[in-house]
Amino acid sequence: DGGITQSPKYLFRKEGQNVTLSCEQNLNHDAMYWYRQDPGQGLRLIYYSQIVNDFQKGDIAEGYSVSREKKESFPLTVTSAQKNPTAFYLCASGGTTNEKLFFGSGTQLSVL
Amino acid sequence: GENVEQHPSTLSVQEGDSAVIKCTYSDSASNYFPWYKQELGKGPQLIIDIRSNVGEKKDQRIAVTLNKTAKHFSLHITETQPEDSAVYFCAASKNSGYSTLTFGKGTMLLVSP
């Protein structure tokens, strides 16, 4: 099946710890995106990448980092600098014109 | 940057009724307007989209209308069913290189049997 896979589904972070969320797609899409979803806040863009080895900051990039070493993979690291990391994180992929995005099923990150 | 406002935040209807969700955008250069449906615990799914050269688009029970002059667009769902219950997001973008979608804050639609 073609699609976009996020793992893990649930993740817990201890204070001062970095955690990495995985996102893999087999749709042969050039562009990949990370969004953060908080209750009542909609989807806010963290980082996006339109080509391998290149990525841009979104609206709320502080405290996050990404890499794009392969077309299929776009992992997100939530660093200890992100003081309010509890949220639902969504990865998406699509064409470079950002039409028709496909979303993964999300990772719920909570702080212990 | 682009700002998208979405109303209402919650909407309750009876099965069979119509539902309308409205969005306004601020950037007159935006030309692509998708709508996404998100079911509980899942990622959003694209249900319909419209470009600025079109005023209305239909797909079975759902339709989207766009008023470029007023900078607003709406989602219309007719003959609602309980499985339409979900959170709906509108979004807008310029649909060009390195342009990204700006989402509204979402509308929780509840369809009661």
* Number of C-beta neighbours around residue B58 at 10 A: 12
Of B6, B100, B105, the CB nearest to A48: B100
For residues A95 and A29, the answer to whether their CB atoms sit within 8 Å is yes
**Whether B95 contacts chain A with CB within 8 A:** yes
What are the tens digits of pLDDT across the range B75-93?
999 999 999 999 999 999 9
- The distance of A51 to chain B (nearest Cα, Å) reads 11
User: Chain A: nearest CA to B86, how far in angstroms?
Assistant: 14
Q: Inter-chain contact B93–A98, Cβ cutoff 8 Å?
A: yes
Is B98–A101 a contact, with Cβ atoms under 8 angstroms apart? no
Provide the shortest C-alpha distance from residue A94 to chain B (in Å).
Answer: 11
| pLDDT tier, B28 (very low <50, low <70, confident <90, very high otherwise) | very high
Reported as a single tens digit per residue, the pLDDT across A37-54 is 998 888 999 999 999 999
| pLDDT of B39 | 95
- Give dist(CA B67, CA B85) in Å, integer: 26
- Which tokens is B70 given? 């007023």
Residue B87 near residue B108 (C-beta atoms within 8 A): yes
Helix (H, G, I), strand (E, B) or coil at B104: coil
Residuewise pLDDT in 10s, chain A (112 residues)? 569 999 999 999 888 899 999 999 999 999 999 999 998 888 999 999 999 999 999 999 999 999 999 999 999 999 999 989 999 999 999 876 667 899 999 999 998 8
Q: Which amino acid is at B95?
A: N
Instruction: Give the pLDDT confidence score for residue A2 in this predicted structure.
Output: 64
